A and B are shown apart, each in its own frame.
Chain A
């Protein structure tokens, strides 16, 4: 188990290094940089810009810049943000926390809904409930996440039950308990949008994998031997169907991150999303690289978790 984990971890780190290096060279090749907008400004002299560029090491040759950047990554700084004049890690850390604050609850809630509902639909395959389920999921699947987020925002604005924009009220209450409640209140809407966006895929996969197991010959044999429907479902069908679902868990993290970016931008949640878009627009290179690398890291962690779960759940994996 330990060796398996270490191998997987090494692989993941190598992949992250590959992604970040690729991004670094790609973005260095981009036309225009943060300082090119300054050149248009007559109040900033060319000398100032040159000084700034050399301060950030932008005038050094590409390999030197790469190693300089690698050094700062090793120190945990991930380069420097030109716009905020801060190490990227300082800038990104609260943003990552905020994004996780949305995605982790959304992940849990959507799985907590998806598994029972998917099992129910698979168990009652073909009757009205299943049909309503399939109509519901395909409609929800066809609704763009963009629209879902906007509709959720519209709901908040119309009813006024939920706060709009940001993650805290303007007059922030005192005491950690009240702060927590306040934040949870602000979280409700973006989390709802995320759950609605990621639910249809999860539901469909859950249903499909359970249906496949229920159709298999060992389930028919269990039925033939007179096992009750309940015990065969919980004792035999669910563990057998768990395997593809656990793999899906890793993938659902990725899907959720992409939807989260949009939702954050639309409801004005101070997560990675708005920062990344802003950094792209002003060409704040290191922020872009770090945001993409961190999103990749979440995905890799999701896959790693899925692998560990698989290892724990499925004895067939352990044999190899």
Chain B
């Protein structure tokens, strides 16, 4: 290997280490609980997907800011996605909802307010209608 190639390889290695260390570290806030700890959730909610509808828990989803909440999603037919969005449309988190599997995620909401739920995976032409505004209410 030529000295110039070796120097370039060192640059590539440095970029690889830097980007991976930063993005796996708690500098990405949710890595704290998705990767580096296994927090006990203070609330648990089950969400059911079937025939292009999302069935939310009977009393709705209410959580407190700063507490850990576990979402478990089931699908009775095809693959869907459970996506949570802020009111300005930006995404908070998402998971795939595979039929025949228990799809779980633990999340911590930092900011009080209302959040929308939308299916994030294509499941057929009616998929775009799977939108539930203000499905989650997070209080102080």
A interacts with B: no
Which positions in B face A, CB cutoff 8 Å?
none
Which positions in A face B, CB cutoff 8 Å?
none
